[in-house]
Amino acid sequence: MKAYLALEDGTVVEGDGFGAPGKAKGELVFETGMTGYVEALTDPSYNGQLLMLTYPLIGNYGVNSDDYQSEGIKAEALVIRDLCHNPSNWRSEKTLNQFLVDEGIPGIEDIDTRKLTRKARIHGTMKAVLYVGEEEKDEEELVKEAREQESIKDKENLVAEVCRGETERYEGDGDLEMVMIDCGYKENILKNSVKQGINVTTVPYDTPADQILDMDPDGVMVSNGPGNPALLDKTIETIENLMGETVLYGICLGNQLISLALGAETFKLKFGHRGINHPVKDLETGRVFISTQNHGFAVTEESLEEVGLEISQINLNDDTVEGVVHKDMPIKAVQYHPEAGPGPHDTYFFFDDLKKDLKNGI
Amino acid sequence: MPKRPGINKVLLIGSGPIEIGQAAEFDYSGSQACRAFREKGVEVVLVNSNPATIMTDPEMADSVYIEPLTSESLTEIIRKENPDGIAAGLGAQTGLNLTAELSEKGILDKYDVEVLGTPIDTIYKAEDREKFRDMMNRIGEDIARSEAVNSIDEAEKVAKKLGLPVIIRPAYTLGGSGGGVATTYKELEEIVERGLTLSRINQVLVEESVLGWKEFEYEVMRDRNDTCLTVVNMENFDPMGIHTGESIVTAPSQTLSDYDHQRMRTSAIEIIRELGIEGGCNIQFAFNTETGEYKVVEVNPRVSRSSALASKATGYPIARVAAKINIGLNLDEIPNDVTKETPASFEPTVDYTVVKIPRWPFDKFHNVDRSLTTQMKATGEVMSIGRTLEEAFQKAIRSLDIGEIGLNPNQRRVFEKDEVEEYLETPTDMRLFAIYDALRNDYTLEEISKTTDIDEFMLQKIKNIYEREKDIKTDWKSNLKQAKRDGFTDKQISNLAGVDRKTIRKEQEDQGIKTTYKMVDTCAAEFKAETPYYYSSYEDESESIREDEEDNREKVLILGAGPIRIGQGIEFDYCCVHSVNALEEENIESLIVNNNPETVSTDYDTSDKLFFDPLTLDDVVNIIEEEEPDGVMVQFGGQTSVNLAVPLKEELEKRDDLETEVYGTSPEMMDMAEDRDRFSSLLDELGISQPESRIASSKQEAKEAAGEIGYPLLVRPSYVLGGRAMEIVHEEDELEEYMEEAVKVSPDHPILIDRFIEDGIEIDVDAVCDGEDVLVGGIMEHIEEAGVHSGDSACVIPPQSISEEKIEEIKEHVKDISLALNAVGLVNIQMAIKDGEIYILEANPRSSRTIPYVSKATGIPLAKLAAKTMVGKSLEELGYTETPEIDHVAVKEVVLPFDKLLGVDPVLGPEMKSTGEVMGIDYDFGKAYYKAEIAANNEIPTEGKVVLSIRDTDKPKIVPIAKKLEKHGFELLGTKGTAEYLQKKDININQVNKVSEGSPHIVDKIREEEIDLVINTPTSGKKPKRDGYKIRRAVVNLKTPYITNIQAAKAASNAIEAIKEGEIITKSINEHQEKIEGIKNE
């Protein structure tokens, strides 16, 4: 199959198409992990984005459904250098190509992904269109399409699209109760919480606070999810109303939403943090953890001073905020993904802390 | 946190000579560490016996000691220097073992020296197999079941319990030496016996076999604050059962899912925590591809060969960071040198793939066992970087410099089906090619995988290359771009498609296919990188640009030396690095191309730009096209770069679009010096003698020539390195036999026949010529007689037995020849002196392997001066015209690989066999020689029992030696003939049985460790003399000091006398050089 990838700056690259034919639109983002493509593709936070992997050989170990972070692929498309058709791994169930075909997701390979990554680094993340199919395409048309689409900053439905929608309860083997506000959570957050013995009830992102408090949880986790946090008025309102009422934890988008609810501000990063090698420093112990990251927005450091949040952790690559703790209330949130999947398990201690805080209560 | 207070002076132990299992990687890590320490104001005291290293340059540390790596000499240095700390984990296993020994002897406590980085306890935990197992059990990591044993009986018991095959690993050895896989009890006995002897604590581990599992390695870092990270993980192409140093390795891992990878990563971090290492550590895992279960195989609590590879593969300088951690910095306080902006406390990520292939020395030995096992045999390795594995595999093969330029045959034979089967079954250096040929013979990937246990994923990549070969043959034009992306060179495509390179170049231009250079930046382009470290690829965008438009400096490309092998060691990398430094001093932009991950030259901060690429004409021309340098330097990289001189010059002359020139001595002249006829006439014109010689291209011609010159003769094929296939023949039978082999060796070239100067003194001279003046840098007298390859001979500066008058004559000859060759740059000339006459044996206008040794001994930076003359400086301008006088004596001794290569007869001859060298320096010959022998692990005893077994022709010469030994209290034993002969000379010597005479014989005595030195001179001729051979193998296997020629025996007896009558002096090379007067006339 033919494949064209057009960017808003006028760049068009032609490569080989794979997966399902079709057109994908969104923001082209790069992820630097050398393993974890299954987890990344199924991470709901990639909704609205074309996922480009910087490691050139992808698909080597096939696809295993145990690694899914949601029920299927959430990224709009996959952009890589070299697709492996003959995977080799003891857990592999199917090829990556088959996975994309089954999920109706287009992919492009055999292109200079490093060139595109450099572009993103230098010019910032760009809007893009990928066409995969048998047709010859007019390049200018594609560029126009790339330019004319809505920016991810303004897309309002990204969370709604990936939120599971139903209230579900998952049993841990203890008596702690946690509600997770589902903005498009990753399975690993659930798994790690349940592993701690916590019973988790997931509720849709727009569930009002009183409904949550009615469940009488020991605490609430605001999950990760895609897009611009500032557009999620309902969730922010819910969080505002939960504050002081229960223990609040947040991961990634959840961290941004908690900060917004307290009156802090968020901004869009030039090209985001997407990888499994980011150094996060704990300011209390001075120790550094290697963390998984996937976010295009971040909390503005200066805006935290007034709202009672203290910075507990920072990213050593660019000094951005990685963790906040409230001075008075039991509120704790991190910008990275302590649940890994993909990525290092160095930050699993987050779930030990979670358990402790749920136990201590408000 | 800044550096720790109280650590102001650090002792750094180097790794000693290049050996199988320990190549240049520790020069790289050691030099990085020196810089890292000194940047923080920490004084460095460095000890290494290997003069060919960059780390032993006097500028590298505050005090550099080129002294034997023994606890005695280290004690003396510690006493003198009083360091605050000792960096144990930065100098190979040698460093760890010595640190442990110094601690055991109480030296570290006595002088209050703190062990930095790797705690003493950890050295034992990682190396003592039993402690290691206990520790792993404690932290819940699975390891192969095993038991440590101290005898063969115990080993058998354990093997019965575990079931054969079992793996035997000696404690505290290098490169797995002495280890192996035992599939029978007979093998078990052999391997355990050898292993026990080689282990420092007389202990081996008998381990359950995980043969066929996949092998993975993790490079882990940890700081004082307990921040841990992994730099990279690596996946071995070869399954368990083959030492990782013998395996083809890819980085990062290819077939591990994130789930698999993170489990092992977490284990690796748990392990480094438990070991308490502050610095770097290497952990190997075996992974079951059917169940996902894994076991810890081995831990190296230090920087290692793998960490050098990991550093080059990612751009993350492990040794440098480890050194900073050693003096108290935390990972987040150390900047990532590559990005400058981000800290070292992150995990590198790459957007390319890396392949390492070991370089084996099998081409140098007849009848050597080529099989790959748990014991290392490789002398070096190459690394390649590609955007795909196909590209990386082919580049790595080209980098090996073995005549192959990819997987499809270039010079090699295509294997027949039965050979394919055999090579697949028994892993050797041929297996990669056999896999390729198996595909040609319609083997399926499944079949190959079943026989080899190599993952089908890897095999598929090889198959892709084979498919591309077929495409090229069908229609090269429309497959050109893909072929390039799969790593095919113009030459390969030319071979396959039957078109010339020019046509292919033209077609590339028409199709717009261009070589692109991508950057190695530790972060997959996420951050801007400041380090100019590139590899070639065929993508859309090239990143190698001169950033500063104003920069119009002259630009020079230096061709590197490729992998370490016998005949081409670390010396040439030393020369390349020095030429880079020279260019920097002259404000010239330096580019280097090389493919050896172990070296200093491939450190990202050595040159202005580093190209990590193969050294073939195609690869080099691609770089020249991209960079358009003003000049190329071809004379520093040994034969690898020298071989490119003529073709490169021809290519450059053909190309109107390129103005690049070859700098220094013209390739024609380099070629001329190799051309017997032309060089002979040149010597005739100059009126300089040379051994009579002829050229023969047939047996008949050779016999005629022999008749005219007279035996003995030195015969060799033309144009070789390291004396390959060179031999001394004493009679016509031997000549005929040789001709049959030599013709096979080099079909395009005739053989050279020289009169062999028997009993002559051989002289080696290194000089620099600027076209007008000649600086004779050093005159070396060989210890061994002419006939032993100069690379294998011990030698001494200044000469000990040559008159002033002859020295002057030698200098005159060097000057005349250098000028006649119009040499600009380095010149090496070998001569022999017999009966007062000087004969020229060889002249090579290029770098030689003695350059660093001469520079260390005399203080003259020969390679630097040479590079400067090549960019137009005169020796006079540079201030170097006179040969300095030195009042010390520097002896170079070689290190031989016989203990690693079973079955090879450990004798010296005209074929080079040594892998590395050491230097001993003191104030008289005997003491310097004594030090050199200790450093070369061939300690001359000062008391005890000596066995003599001397061939008839040498018997008269052994008399004074035996007398000297007797005088100094040695007990002498001799085999029948020798003993009887010496008894007649009134020497008190007892007879001992030869092996053929029955037990208790000489080998029994050696095995029982009753013998302190064996002097055995082999009878000449090629036919194996079983008795002598058995003695020699026994001493090698059992590590008894031995000597195989009479000159060395004489030197040893002088050394014993010197030691008995005087004190050894331990002085830094800085102190020695300061005393040399007139190094530079200012």
CATH of residue A175: 3.40.50.880
Among the three residues B455, B490, B513, which one is the final residue of a domain in this structure? B513
Q: Does B444 touch chain A (CB under 8 A)?
A: no
Joined tokens for residue B114: 């703190």
Same domain, residue pair A165 and A296: yes
Q: Please tell me whether the peptide bond between A342 and the residue prior to it is cis, using omega within 30 degrees of 0.
A: yes
> Which strands make up the sheet holding B146-149, listed edge to edge?
B146-149, B204-208, B166-170, B180-182
Distance CA B697, CA B693 (A): 13
Structural domain count of chain A = 2
Q: Please tell me whether the peptide bond between A217 and the residue prior to it is cis, using omega within 30 degrees of 0.
A: no
Amino acid letter, residue B181: V
According to the model, what pLDDT value does residue B546 have? 63
Distance CA A97, CA A1 (A): 13
Residues of B (207-226) whose Cβ lies below 8 Å from A: 225-226
Per-residue pLDDT reduced to its tens digit, B125-184: 887 777 888 899 999 999 988 888 999 999 999 999 998 899 898 876 655 667 888 989
CATH number at residue B936: 3.40.50.1380
- Containing domain of residue A290, as a range? 158-360
Contact flag A317-B527 (C-beta cutoff 8 Å): yes
- Per the CB < 8 A criterion, the answer to whether B765 and B814 are in contact is yes
CA B985 vs CA B628, B955, B968, B1076: distances in Å: 72, 11, 17, 45
Kindly provide the b/e burial profile for residues B1034-1073, where b requires at least 16 CB atoms within 10 angstroms of the residue's own CB: bbbbbbbbbbbbbbbbbbbbbbbbbbeeeebebbbbeebb
Concatenating the DSSP letter of every residue in B388-409 gives: SHHHHHHHHHHHT-SS--SSS-
Q: Which helix (H) or strand (E) holds B80?
A: helix B71-81
Give the CA angle between residues B776, B777, B781 to the nearest 5°.
Answer: 95
Give the CA angle between residues B713, B719, B724 to the nearest 5°.
Answer: 60
Tell the residue number behind the tokens 């037995």, with chain if given.
Answer: B801
**Which residues are paired to B173 by β-bridges?**
none
Same domain, residue pair A129 and A173: no
Mean pLDDT of B412-440: 94
Same domain, residue pair B414 and B509: yes
Least confident range from A182-186, B303-307, B850-854: namely B303-307
Q: Please tell me whether the peptide bond between B58 and the residue prior to it is cis, using omega within 30 degrees of 0.
A: no
CA-based nearest residue to B87, from B117, B65, B67: B117
Mean pLDDT of B456-477: 97
Residue B892 DSSP SS3: strand
Residues of A (307-336) whose Cβ lies below 8 Å from B: 316-317
- Assess if residue A96 is contained within a domain: yes
Amino acid letter, residue B363: D
Amino acid letter, residue A344: P
- Per the CB < 8 A criterion, the answer to whether B614 and B637 are in contact is no
- Assess if residue A36 is contained within a domain: yes
Same domain, residue pair A165 and A133: no
Mean pLDDT of B403-419: 92
Same domain, residue pair B372 and B506: yes
According to the model, what pLDDT value does residue B202 have? 81
Give the CA angle between residues B868, B871, B877 to the nearest 5°.
Answer: 50
Q: Is residue B1022's pLDDT more than 70?
A: no
- Per the CB < 8 A criterion, the answer to whether B267 and B256 are in contact is no
| Banded pLDDT at B785 (limits 50, 70, 90) | confident
Residues in Cβ contact with B276 at an 8 Å cutoff, skipping those fewer than 6 apart:
B119, B121, B122
- Per the CB < 8 A criterion, the answer to whether B103 and B128 are in contact is no
The rounded mean pLDDT for chain B is 92
Query: Which of B341, B457, B524 comes nearest A86 by C-beta?
Result: B457
Residues in Cβ contact with B621 at an 8 Å cutoff, skipping those fewer than 6 apart:
B648, B651
According to the model, what pLDDT value does residue B874 have? 97
Q: Does B8 touch chain A (CB under 8 A)?
A: no
Same domain, residue pair A144 and A167: no
Distance CA B120, CA B100 (A): 6
Distance CA B292, CA B685 (A): 74
- Assess if residue B249 is contained within a domain: no
Residues in Cβ contact with B968 at an 8 Å cutoff, skipping those fewer than 6 apart:
B942, B943, B1056, B1057, B1060
In this structure, the strands spanning B774-782 and B727-729 are unpaired
Contact flag A35-B256 (C-beta cutoff 8 Å): yes
Same domain, residue pair B456 and B521: no
Amino acid letter, residue B634: V
Same domain, residue pair B487 and B604: no
Among the three residues A148, A167, A183, which one is the final residue of a domain in this structure? A148
- Assess if residue B267 is contained within a domain: no
CA-based nearest residue to A229, from A252, A204, A197: A252
CA B279 vs CA A67, B221, B331: distances in Å: 33, 6, 10
According to the model, what pLDDT value does residue B1081 have? 46
- Assess if residue B391 is contained within a domain: yes
Give the nearest chain B residue to A281 (CA atoms): B332
Among the three residues A104, A125, A148, which one is the final residue of a domain in this structure? A148
Chain B nearest-CA distance from A28, in A, is 14
Residues in Cβ contact with B809 at an 8 Å cutoff, skipping those fewer than 6 apart:
B838
Per-residue pLDDT reduced to its tens digit, B523-557: 999 999 888 899 999 999 999 876 667 788 999 99
pLDDT, greater one: B721 or B619: B619
Same domain, residue pair B97 and B189: no
pTM, 2 dp: 0.95
Give the nearest chain A residue to B229 (CA atoms): A290
Same domain, residue pair B361 and B502: yes
- Per the CB < 8 A criterion, the answer to whether B845 and B669 are in contact is yes
Tell the residue number behind the tokens 């307290």, with chain if given.
Answer: A262
Same domain, residue pair A125 and A168: no
Per-residue pLDDT reduced to its tens digit, B67-91: 999 999 999 999 999 999 999 888 8
- Assess if residue A65 is contained within a domain: yes
What B152-156 contacts at long range (C-beta under 8 Å, 24+ apart), as own/partner pairs, is B152/B188, B152/B189, B152/B192, B152/B193, B152/B196, B155/B188, B155/B189, B155/B192, B155/B204, B155/B206, B156/B185, B156/B188, B156/B189
Distance CA B466, CA A269 (A): 45
- Containing domain of residue B940, as a range? 895-922+924-1061
Residue B586 DSSP SS3: coil
Q: Is residue B703's pLDDT more than 80?
A: yes
Q: Is residue B1026's pLDDT more than 90?
A: no
Contact flag A117-B460 (C-beta cutoff 8 Å): no
Q: Is residue B779's pLDDT more than 60?
A: yes
- Per the CB < 8 A criterion, the answer to whether A184 and A215 are in contact is no
- Assess if residue A90 is contained within a domain: yes
Same domain, residue pair A189 and A74: no
CA-based nearest residue to A259, from A222, A295, A304, A315: A304
Q: Does B504 touch chain A (CB under 8 A)?
A: no
Distance CA B1019, CA B1014 (A): 16
Q: Is residue B226's pLDDT more than 90?
A: yes
- Assess if residue B359 is contained within a domain: yes
Chain A contact probe: residue of B346, B385, B450, B521 with most A CBs at under 10 A: B346
Q: Does A87 touch chain B (CB under 8 A)?
A: yes
Structure letter (DSSP) for residue B692: -
Same domain, residue pair A89 and A172: no
According to the model, what pLDDT value does residue B1025 have? 58
Residue B578 DSSP SS3: helix
Same domain, residue pair B492 and B471: yes
Same domain, residue pair B365 and B501: yes
Joined tokens for residue A213: 């408090």
> φ and ψ at B62, to 5 degrees?
-70, -35
According to the model, what pLDDT value does residue B744 have? 55
Amino acid letter, residue B224: R
Same domain, residue pair B432 and B402: yes
Same domain, residue pair A210 and A323: yes
For chain A, what percent of residues have pLDDT higher than 90? 98
Same domain, residue pair A164 and A142: no
Q: Is residue B365's pLDDT more than 90?
A: no
Q: What is the pLDDT along chain A (362 residues), one digit of tens a residue?
A: 999 999 999 999 999 999 999 999 999 999 999 999 999 999 999 999 999 999 999 999 999 999 999 999 999 999 999 999 999 999 999 999 999 999 999 999 999 999 999 999 999 999 999 999 999 999 999 999 999 999 999 999 999 999 998 899 999 999 999 999 999 999 999 999 999 999 999 999 999 999 999 999 999 999 999 999 999 999 999 999 999 999 999 999 999 999 999 999 999 999 999 999 999 999 999 999 999 999 999 999 999 988 999 999 999 999 999 999 999 999 999 999 999 999 999 999 999 999 999 999 87
Chain B nearest-CA distance from A34, in A, is 7
Q: Is residue B977's pLDDT more than 80?
A: yes
Contact flag B227-A88 (C-beta cutoff 8 Å): no
Among the three residues B186, B209, B232, which one is the final residue of a domain in this structure? B209
Least confident range from B292-306, B509-523, B1064-1078: namely B1064-1078
Same domain, residue pair A27 and A133: yes
Mean pLDDT of B467-478: 97
Give the nearest chain A residue to B226 (CA atoms): A287
Concatenating the DSSP letter of every residue in B830-846 gives: EEEEETTEEEEEEEESS
Among the three residues A122, A148, A174, which one is the final residue of a domain in this structure? A148
Joined tokens for residue B558: 């230096």
Same domain, residue pair B503 and B521: no
Tell the residue number behind the tokens 């799969």, with chain if given.
Answer: B486
Q: Which residues of A are catalytic?
A: 252, 337, 339
Contact flag B346-A115 (C-beta cutoff 8 Å): no
Chain B contact probe: residue of A110, A277, A280 with most B CBs at under 10 A: A277
Spell out where B526-648 has E strands: 533-537, 555-559, 589-594, 609-612, 631-633
Q: Is residue B697's pLDDT more than 90?
A: no
Distance CA B138, CA B147 (A): 16
- Assess if residue B826 is contained within a domain: no
Q: Is residue B1's pLDDT more than 50?
A: no
Residues of B (378-417) whose Cβ lies below 8 Å from A: 387-389
> Which strands make up the sheet holding A219-222, listed edge to edge?
A168-170, A198-204, A176-182, A219-222, A247-251, A331-334, A321-326, A309-315, A266-282, A288-299
Query: How far from chain centre, in Å, is Cα B411?
Result: 24
CA-based nearest residue to A28, from A79, A81, A82, A101: A79
- Assess if residue B20 is contained within a domain: yes
According to the model, what pLDDT value does residue A98 have? 98
Q: Which helix (H) or strand (E) holds B428?
A: none
Residues of A (156-185) whose Cβ lies below 8 Å from B: none
| Banded pLDDT at B669 (limits 50, 70, 90) | very high
